[in-house]
Structure 1
């Protein structure tokens, strides 16, 4: 069965818009990764500062491969194979929008989908 990774991001109110814009700018980046199944960015609505980044993968190995390749390139602000000089900010990565993060890991043991009409 699949695995789920939830990155819990602590995002101060003043950087929420920045975080959401950065995710929107990277839309589609994870979807082509081998073993990728699902992504959702969840905005808090109950007064907490925690965003949840939900990803679902075919296997732990697929997730690890993504971490070592495409995700690492995305978080350094460059494409795989690029150099820091390729970054639009003159080689410096932008300041993180989140002030902290925790990664939760789960195995899918049951699932359901809406019934088809």
Structure 2
């Protein structure tokens, strides 16, 4: 998960960037899903949740040229669009239930 603190006046531009993202991650080995969660309350961050088959697959993505190219493209927003540094968190699934 990556928490991104976006100033309110840049929400629309931030969301538009994700709608038109390069999508390179989608074809990476071990990629399962990418979700972008919009904050429900002011002051909360956007959360980008990317799910992988394994930690090794995730690390393969982070160390790839496609990752560097995709994230270079995301730099189209000015620095003032963000109110705090992003925060990357990694987890392993303990329990997964579905209805």
Question: TM range, normalised to the smaller chain?
Answer: 0.7 to 0.9
CA RMSD of aligned residues (A): 1.9
Aligned to 1:16: 11
How high is the TM-score relative to the length of structure 2?
A: 0.83
Relative to total residues, which structure has the larger strand share, 1 or 2? 1
CA contact (8 A) 2:3 2:45 kept: yes
TM superposition shift of 1:27: 5.9
Aligned to 2:40: 45
Aligned to 1:30: 25
Relative to total residues, which structure has the larger helix share, 1 or 2? 2
CA contact (8 A) 1:13 1:49 kept: no
The C-alpha deviation readout for 1:39-66, integer Å capped at 9, x for no partner, is 1100001222400000111111111111
Query: Which runs of 5 or more residues in structure 1 are unaligned?
Result: 1-5, 78-92
Aligned residues: 95
Aligned to 1:98: 82
Aligned to 1:74: 70
The answer as to 2:62 corresponding to 1:62 is no
Pair member with larger Rg: 1
Aligned to 1:110: 95
Between the aligned partners of 1:27 and 1:98, the Cα distance in structure 2 is 21
